[in-house]
Amino acid sequence: MQPTAAVATAAASSLSLTPLRRLAIASTTTCAKEASAYGKCIVATYADVHKDKCKAEFDKFGACLRQTVVVFALEIPPHPSPRNSPLHFSSSAPP
């Protein structure tokens, strides 16, 4: 899956969201096609579900989520270092 303008827009607008919220958005918008295919496979085989029954669909869905999370991660500014945090207290004097 190639990131689209919609993915970039979603990434930019979700910078203030928690990682779990970004994952939820990705799984219901960016990866909706893959999520739907996986869900349909599970529903179609729920009476005879067993390990790896829908592996191909699950792998495609997982790959889409991983790629989308990478796109979001590239858009998110890094957290400040704990040492640079105003709440960091050192037991020794600074060098």
Task: Give the pLDDT confidence of 4-14 residue by residue, as tens digits.
Answer: 555 555 544 54
Tokens of 50: 């067993």
Q: CA angle 80-30-78, nearest 5°?
A: 5
Answer whether 29's CB lies under 8 Å from 59's CB: no
39 part of a folded domain:
yes
Q: Give residue-wise pLDDT tens across range 1-59.
A: 455 555 555 544 545 567 788 788 878 888 999 999 999 999 999 888 788 999 999 99
19 is a domain residue = yes
The reply to whether 3 falls in a domain is no
Say how far residue 65 (Cα) sits from the centre of its chain: 5
Q: Within the chain, how many helices (H) and strands (E) appear?
A: 4, 0
C-alpha span between 56 and 41 (Å, rounded)? 10
- Count structural domains, the chain: 1
State the pLDDT confidence band at 69, using cuts at 50, 70 and 90.
confident
**Contact 56/90 with Cβ under 8 angstroms?**
no
Does residue 78 have a pLDDT over 60? no
In a domain, 58, yes or no: yes
